[in-house]
Amino acid sequence: MSKLLEDNATKIIEILKKTYPDAQCSLNFKNPFELLVAVVLSAQCTDERVNKTTPAIFEKYNTPLAFSKIDIHELEQLIHPCGFYHTKAKNLKACAQKLVDDFNGEVPKTMEELTSLPGVGRKSANVIMLNAFNNPVGIAIDTHAKRICNRLGLSKETEPLKIEKDLLKILKKEYIKDANHLLVYHGRNLCTARNPKCIDCPLNKLCTYYQKSK
């Protein structure tokens, strides 16, 4: 990786930190298991909708043991607003059962263990490592992060894992935590999928996409 790319990545994160000083995880949760459930539900769904759905669930069920015993049809009803409720309910029940059987009813604290859980991929595991355990080991590459990294020229890859690898090579370690939140905020606010607000974007001088489009 070139020094120029590393310097650009540093500048980008510093600018985004000033632009979004309050960037943080937007899913509501009170413990690691609640976050795990919220993350599973957030696939193909907005965090806002997940936050509206989870309080009623967590009021009745908020431990792996309780989840492992829920009637699957009741769980489907409870999570229905978040979409893909058959698959999500099946994964959540299987995940809760595995937590009970293999992890003493606790959410594990390593990427390897987290990604062994049904319904938990690398992106979700990154979110849990950062927000539940304050131990960011990687960067969750969602649709926002993917788009922004490609536009800014930080990675030419299209696969999330490869984009994450590129970022981890050029980002200073102390920026990994911030990058997780900042890329999501920037994607929601300025670097939107359609009609990105490039004129107003504080990154436009560093952005390959914008510089080429002028």
Residue type for 181, please? H
16-41 residues labelled b (16+ CB within 10 A) or e (exposed):
beebbeebebbbebeebbbbbbbbbb
Active site residue 142: yes
Kindly indicate which of the ranges 60-68, 69-77, 146-154, 174-182 contains the residues binding ligand SF4, using the contact rule CB under 6 A: 146-154
Q: What are the φ/ψ torsions at residue 169 (nearest 5 degrees)?
A: -75, -30
Catalytic residue among 98, 142, 146, 166: 142
Contacts of 74 (CB under 8 A, 6+ apart): none
Contacts (CB under 6 A) with ligand SF4, residues 34-73: none
Q: Radius of gyration over alpha carbons of the chain, in Å?
A: 18
Active-site position among 123, 165, 173, 197: 123
Among 98, 123, 151, 181, binds ligand SF4 (CB under 6 A): 151
Written as six digits, the tokens of 159 are 């696969």
207 is a contact residue toward ligand SF4 (CB under 6 A): yes
Smaller CB separation from ligand SF4, 4 or 199: 199
Nearest distance in Å: CB 25, ligand SF4: 22
For residues 48 and 32, what is the distance between their CA atoms, to the nearest angstrom? 19
Q: To the nearest whole angstrom, how small is the minimum distance from the Cβ of residue 208 to ligand SF4?
A: 8
For ligand SF4, how many residues bind (rule: CB under 6 A)?
14
Question: Which amino acid, one-letter code, is at 137?
Answer: V
Interaction between residue 203 and ligand SF4 (CB under 6 A): yes
**Site membership for ligand SF4, residue 154 (CB under 6 A):** no
Structure tokens at 104: 């003493």
> Which strand (E) or helix (H) includes residue 201?
none
Q: Among 80, 111, 196, 212, indicate the residue that binds ligand SF4 (CB under 6 A).
A: 196
167 near ligand SF4 (CB under 6 A): no
Q: Which residues of 124-149 are buried (b: 16+ CB within 10 A; e: fewer)?
A: bbbbbbbbbbeebebbbbbebbbbbb
Residue 201 contacts ligand SF4 per CB under 6 A: yes
Using CB under 6 A as the binding rule, whether residue 198 contacts ligand SF4 is answered as: yes
Q: Give the residues lining the site for ligand SF4 (CB under 6 A).
A: 148, 151-152, 190-191, 196-198, 201, 203-204, 207, 209-210
**Which amino acids are annotated catalytic?**
123, 142
